[in-house]
Amino acid sequence: MRLSRPARKDSMTRLESLDRTCATLPKGDSRVLKEKRKAGGGGPERVLRPLGLRGPVGGSACWGGGKNFGLATDNRQMKAGNSSWLDERSPQMSLRAFITGMGGFAGSHLAEALLAAGDSVEGTLSPRGSVDNLLHLPGPVSLHRLDIRSGEQVAAAVRKARPDVVYHLAALSHVPEGDRDPRAVLEVNFLGTLSVLEALRTEAPEARCILVSSAEVYGLPAVPVGDRVSEDHPRAPVHAYGLSKLAAELLADLYARTRGVRVICLRPFNHIGPRQSDRFVCSSFARQIARIRLGLQEPVLKVGDLKPVRDFTDVRDMVRAYRLAAELCPPGSVFQIASGVGVSIEAVLKEFLSFSDVPIQVREDPSRLRRNEVPALVGDPSRFRRVTGWTPRLGLRQSLRDMYSYWKEKEAAQGAPAT
């Protein structure tokens, strides 16, 4: 049974799952109920959430091709309908979606966007992953706790979900973390991708797979400063995370060419927004400044290298691009998603500092400096825009403001000293 979206936002919502009917909760009830998973199970965890919580809540939540299948980067292989669209095309159909890594930063925003588009949504979460990012979804979803490296667990979840499209986001994505433990990042990002591709091959051969790679596969771009990188640029990663994503791309290319898996490879550049971990630079700035403004931290902001230039896109625009890719991009294609505008980390910091009226001292922290730092990485989004009409809707200042507000609210609620 497919998950149903609530018909009205102010009504009691019948919670539907794939194999049983959950209980209903009246509006205003503050209880949170959890169903214990069966011993040793890989089945979905279901958390029933009432109406009346903060955010655009629509009801209680139930968590629980082409001939050329190779990943082509040649424009001649990427004709998807009329490529002269001037405006972004709205999704034309409701899809059964399956998101790996749904509890993460981008995964939770993607779930929110897909529900708003009318899709039914299931997804995965690591065995010890938090559901905090899923508390304000606008509709019911089903969540499978599993180890993404386990082919059996992933296949079982895909078999139950019967998806039209799988969005593969589950990954270890923090570059310094990958350098500290390259084995872990390679296992999760490569073997996790293998699990997903095998599950698609055996359990959902007609489904499309949106493989979310990374612009970090390019490494040190061999382009003049100020120029933008295209999909055809050589891939030469300089750290374990970028290597793991390149390996995942090559594996997907193999499955596309030789096993008929319908893969669309996306290379997003830096995306930012509310819910992002403070291990990443923009969220780190936002959290520290919010804590200083609330009097929870001394007025000293610790930073790394401020010289690098990056291409920032709001995560809400990024996941909108993922949804468009699932419907409009041909299998076997590669697209990068970017704003096309380079901004220095120093400029981002200055923007954040303008949000606070408290004097703040900026201090370089050697532990935040990276080996093999890429000085500039800016993407050319023209190929993706020609096929989908996508352009970012949220400007950088709005993204940074929303991140600051998110951390200010979160830290005010917790009120704990910095860790």
Q: Which two tokens stand for residue 372?
A: 């093999």
Q: How far apart are CA 316 and CA 256, in angstroms?
A: 28
Q: How far apart are CA 14 and CA 23, in angstroms?
A: 7
In this structure, of 25-29, 125-129, 323-327, 385-389, the range with the lowest mean pLDDT score is: 25-29
In this structure, of 3-17, 233-247, 301-315, 364-378, the range with the lowest mean pLDDT score is: 3-17
Please give the pLDDT value at position 363: 96
In this structure, of 119-128, 168-177, 231-240, 303-312, the range with the lowest mean pLDDT score is: 168-177
Q: How far apart are CA 268 and CA 214, in angstroms?
A: 5
- Its CATH class, for the domain covering 33-276+312-341+378-394, is alpha beta
- Per-chain mean pLDDT for the chain: 81
Q: How far apart are CA 166 and CA 240, in angstroms?
A: 25
Dump pLDDT digits (tens) for 378-395. 999 999 999 999 999 999
Please give the pLDDT value at position 337: 98
E strands present in 200-261: 208-212
- Higher local confidence (pLDDT), 54 or 362: 362
Contact 396, 352 (CB under 8 A): no
- Higher local confidence (pLDDT), 13 or 359: 359
Contact 316, 113 (CB under 8 A): yes
* 165: confidence class by pLDDT, cuts 50, 70, 90: very high
Measured torsion, CA atoms of residues 215, 221, 226, 231, in degrees rounded to the nearest 10: -50
* 370: confidence class by pLDDT, cuts 50, 70, 90: confident
Give yes or no for residue 304 having a pLDDT over 70. Answer: yes
Q: Average the pLDDT over 312-335 and give the result.
A: 97
Cβ-proximal residues to 7 (8 Å cutoff; 6+ apart), any chain? none
Q: How far apart are CA 310 and CA 171, in angstroms?
A: 21
> Rounded to 5, what percent of the chain is helix, strand, coil?
35, 15, 50
Task: Concatenate the DSSP letters of all residues of 343-387 into one string.
Answer: EEHHHHHHHHHTT--S--EEEE-GGGPPTT--SEE-B--HHHHHH
Q: Which of 253, 331, 392, 319 is nearest to 79 (CA)?
A: 331
State the DSSP code for 70.
Answer: S
Please give the pLDDT value at position 94: 87
* 226: confidence class by pLDDT, cuts 50, 70, 90: confident
Q: Residues 411, 413, 414, 416: is their CA dihedral positive or negative?
A: positive
Q: Which two tokens stand for residue 301?
A: 């902001």
Q: How far apart are CA 47 and CA 299, in angstroms?
A: 40
Q: Average the pLDDT over 34-59 and give the result.
A: 33
State the DSSP code for 18.
Answer: S
Please give the pLDDT value at position 222: 77
Please give the pLDDT value at position 120: 96
pTM for this entry? 0.80
* 91: confidence class by pLDDT, cuts 50, 70, 90: low
